[in-house]
Structure 1
Amino acid sequence: MSQIPRILIVGGGYVGMYTALRLQRRLRRGEARVTLVDSDSYMTYQPFLPEAAAGNIEPRHVVVPLRAVLNRCEVVNGWAVGVDLRARTVEVRPGQGPPRTLGYDFLVFAPGSVSRLLPIPGVAECGIGFKTVEEAIHLRNHVLAQLDVAASTDDPAVRSRALTFVFVGGGYAGVEALAELEDMARDACRYFPDIHPGDMRWVLVEATGRILPEVGPEMGRWTLEQLRARGIDVRLDSRVTSAEDRRIALDDGSVFDSSTLVWTAGVKPHPLVAASGLPLDERGRVRATAELTVEGNPNVFTAGDCAAVPDLTKPGQTCAPNAQHAVRQARRLADNLVATLRGSERRAYRHAYAGSVASLGLHKGVAQLYGRKVRGFPAWFMHRTYHLSRVPTLNRKVRVLVDWTLALFFPREITSLGALAHPREEFEFAARPEARIPAERR
Structure 2
Amino acid sequence: MTSAVTTDTSARPGYGQLLRTPGALGFVLPGFAARLPFGMLTISILLLVQHTTGSYASAGIVSAVTGISMALFAPVMGSLTDRHGQSAVLVPGVLAHAAAVGGLVALALADAPLWALAAAAVPTGASVPQVGPMVRARWAARLEGSPLLPTAAAFESVTDEFTFVVGPVLATALCTGVHPAAGLATEAVLTLVGGLVFAARRASQPRAHAHHEGAAVRRGSALAHPGLRVLIAAFLGIGAVFGGMQVSLAAFSNEIGNPGANGVLYGVFAAGNMIAGIACGAIAWKIGPRRRLLLGYAGLTAAASVLWTADSALLLGGLGLLVGLCIAPALITGYTMVEALVPANARTEAFTWLTGAVAFGQAVAVIVAGNLTDAHGSAYGFLVPMAGTVLAFATLVALRARLAPKAPSRVVGASAARTDTSEGRGVGHRTPVTVD
TM-score (norm 2): 0.27
TM-score (norm 1): 0.27
Q: Higher Cα Rg: structure 1 or 2?
A: 1
Higher strand share: 1
Bigger RCO (CA 8 Å, 6+ sep): 2
